[in-house]
Amino acid sequence: MTHSVLVTRQGRNASKQARTLPVRGGALLNLIFCAASIPVPLTETFPDAYLAGRHEHMAPPASRRLVHKRTINVQVYARDDDLWDVEAELIDIKARDIEFASGLRRADEPIHHMHLRLTIDSTFHVVDAEAKTYASPYPGYCEDYGAAYRALIGMNLLRGFSHAVKQHLHGVLGCTHITELTRVLPTAAIQAFAGEVIRPEAGDREQPFQLDRCHALRVDGPAVLRYYPRWWKSPATGAPADEAHAQISSPSTT
């Protein structure tokens, strides 16, 4: 499965240049600002050396053949009205011809092609939603979900979003694959907001947004101690970095 995230700036005054923001540890956050809404292939947004080494640490695969390919493409747009469009597409193709009840589908011809767009504000609230099906195994039926995905309006991507989606769109209430796309939108929006709405750098008054949201950036872990020492806490005592360092550096009085 291919999963890519593209951030673009819309509007007639948009800049058509790529801006690469360095992130500590050598990673790169690529924010692509352009007026066009054409997806940029992965090979155009990363250097060749990076692409060549993507699988260098994986075990060699067994002899095999490609059967199925799913591509999920996520793009986030900053709109001129200060709202944000978060768009996701899912495309499934087979490596060989396949016969469905509705007829033959040729190899490399999409079996599924779904598109979901959420419009959100800077607090991750959904203010508009639209879904579209371009290809499906049962044309005329798969896309007959009407305005079901308007139910996403009013939800918040960071507050009970998955639970709310399950309540309103599970099973026969929606399209399986469009509903699947909702799962990738919250973290894609967060990535898009980094450096735009959310400031990932450490501060003295407010803990950086990304801390304690994954195993690498747990506040008692070595990465936080190295890059965000102000917010590190000792695993043993829960003490802040300055107190823990004082305890470590102070000579014993016994």
* Per-position pLDDT tens, the chain of length 254: 544 445 444 443 443 333 333 333 333 233 322 223 334 444 455 666 666 666 567 788 899 999 999 999 999 999 999 999 999 999 999 999 999 999 999 998 999 999 999 999 999 999 999 999 999 999 999 999 999 999 999 999 999 999 999 999 999 999 999 999 999 999 999 999 988 887 766 556 778 878 888 889 899 999 988 988 888 988 876 666 555 444 434 444 43
Strands (E) across the chain are located at 2-9, 18-22, 28-32, 68-78, 84-94, 98-100, 103-105, 112-120, 126-135
If one counts every other C-beta atom within 10 angstroms of the C-beta of residue 188, the result is 22
- Enumerate residues 6+ apart whose C-beta is below 8 A from 195: 21, 29, 31
Q: Checking DSSP bridges between strand 112-120 and strand 84-94, what pairing results, if any?
A: antiparallel
Q: Which tokens is 59 given?
A: 């075990």
Q: What is the pTM of this model?
A: 0.69
Query: All domains of the chain, ordered by start, with CATH?
Result: 65-193 (3.90.1010), 206-249 (no CATH)
Phi, psi of 55 (to 5 degrees): -115, 15
